Structure 1
């Protein structure tokens, strides 16, 4: 929304509409966000990229999103090229949407989503593309609380069709922590993130970038109840 259009809309609202203060503040933030020009993603260091993600998550948790990089101008800016400042391997769970929970926009995050956030060959290839060819300086493997795929692996469930494939991919991680005290599923969620990171580090393309300091790999755990992402490795 253009600022002049917003002001015109607001003036009309005075006479013909009843708007709450929160409505006006929300629309103003939308207008301001559309005019922001954030730091160019390629210039971010791996640590700065991680900080940017965590700051966005803090805004999400506090219910103070800025909705960056969601304007028409941003759409045109990334139409011909993309330079995501972060790559995230996360679960396909409908409640775990990286752009929302990290308060980012178009072209900011290269999403690779698959049940159980497992590093299949296809997922690994997608990540290699983002890191090696697009220059993404940060890779996060993001697990989440009460993950259904991890739960199935912990309970050793027999599932139909190809659903069993991602359970099989998580079982080695679950086996590592089966005797640990505490919640078995949550222990396995953390262990699975660490296990998938270990598998990703075997990629020559990723390890080269990691050893040169051009890439940082971290793990995260998303809390479904609070919305907070905690770094776990």
Structure 2
């Protein structure tokens, strides 16, 4: 994963495993190398930023990479049935969902449409934690909130799924929470759970 991201950052992608032959081989079944749960932001196209091809990544995305039953069920499928050894949780800077969560804590915050509010509500605890730590008068740094939310997301995934937490405990699965930097194109590991917790071992 790291090598593929390095090729993308350098502007030297190989676009591997994207041809007709690969498509035919995969028609009989899939065996992805990793699952990726990331933000739906159009700039976070998983196979592009990691220079992967068809059948390489099992991808689950929603706005703000927020844990839900459908996300957990999809990732449990990847672990239990597809036997992926790695889940990457991918957040990013300048995230609109994080910005909306920060804005929602303001005194004069406008009322959001209900489905959008439910989507960003899980990010609000990270916002409130940052406000508590820095004081109510300090500006809220979206990058700090995003990092806190990324860590919360990994913790929520482990808390929500006995299947996934058991796989981590048994050494069959690692989870890497990473932040994607839009301008540089780099995916930077922030939190690692499972196996030997060595960042170099899981990319």
Instruction: Report the TM range for the smaller structure's normalisation.
Output: 0.7 to 0.9
Q: Out of 135, 145, 148, which is 2:83 matched to? A: 135
Q: Distance in 2 between matches of 1:140 and 1:206?
A: 13
- Which residue of the partner structure matches residue 162 of structure 1? 115
Kept in 2: contact 1:154–1:184 (CA 8 A): no
Write out per-residue CA displacement over residues 131-179 of structure 1, whole angstroms, 9 at most, x where no aligned residue.
Answer: 1110111001100010000111112153224111111111112222223
Q: Distance in 2 between matches of 1:82 and 1:174?
A: 39
Write out per-residue CA displacement over residues 30-73 of structure 1, whole angstroms, 9 at most, x where no aligned residue.
Answer: xxxxxxxxxxxxxxxxxxxxxxx111101000000011111111
For structure 1, the 5+ residue unaligned runs are 1-52
- Which residue of the partner structure matches residue 197 of structure 1? 154
- Which residue of the partner structure matches residue 62 of structure 1? 10
Q: Which protein, 1 or 2, shows the higher relative CO under an 8 Å CA cutoff with sep ≥ 6?
A: 2
Q: What is the TM-score normalised by the length of structure 2? A: 0.85
Kept in 2: contact 1:150–1:170 (CA 8 A): yes
Kept in 2: contact 1:88–1:109 (CA 8 A): yes
Structure 1: 4+ residue segments shifted above 6 A: none
- Which residue of the partner structure matches residue 188 of structure 1? 145
3-state SS, counterpart of residue 232 of structure 1: strand
Q: Tell me the C-alpha RMSD between the 2 structures.
A: 1.4
Kept in 2: contact 1:145–1:223 (CA 8 A): yes
- Which residue of the partner structure matches residue 97 of structure 1? 45
- Which residue of the partner structure matches residue 83 of structure 1? 31
Radius of gyration: which is bigger? 1
- Between the two proteins, the alignment pairs up a number of residues equal to 181
- Which residue of the partner structure matches residue 16 of structure 1? none
Superposed, which structure 2 residues align to 1:106-185 within 5 Å?
106-156=54-104, 157=109, 158-178=111-131, 179-180=133-134, 184-185=141-142
Q: Distance in 2 between matches of 1:217 and 1:176?
A: 23
Kept in 2: contact 1:57–1:102 (CA 8 A): yes
Q: Distance in 2 between matches of 1:193 and 1:226?
A: 19
For structure 2, the 5+ residue unaligned runs are 192-203
Q: What is the TM-score normalised by the length of structure 1? A: 0.75
- Which residue of the partner structure matches residue 179 of structure 2? 221
The alpha-carbon deviation at position 217 of structure 1 amounts to 0.5
Q: Distance in 1 between matches of 2:81 and 2:130?
A: 36
Q: Distance in 2 between matches of 1:219 and 1:177?
A: 19
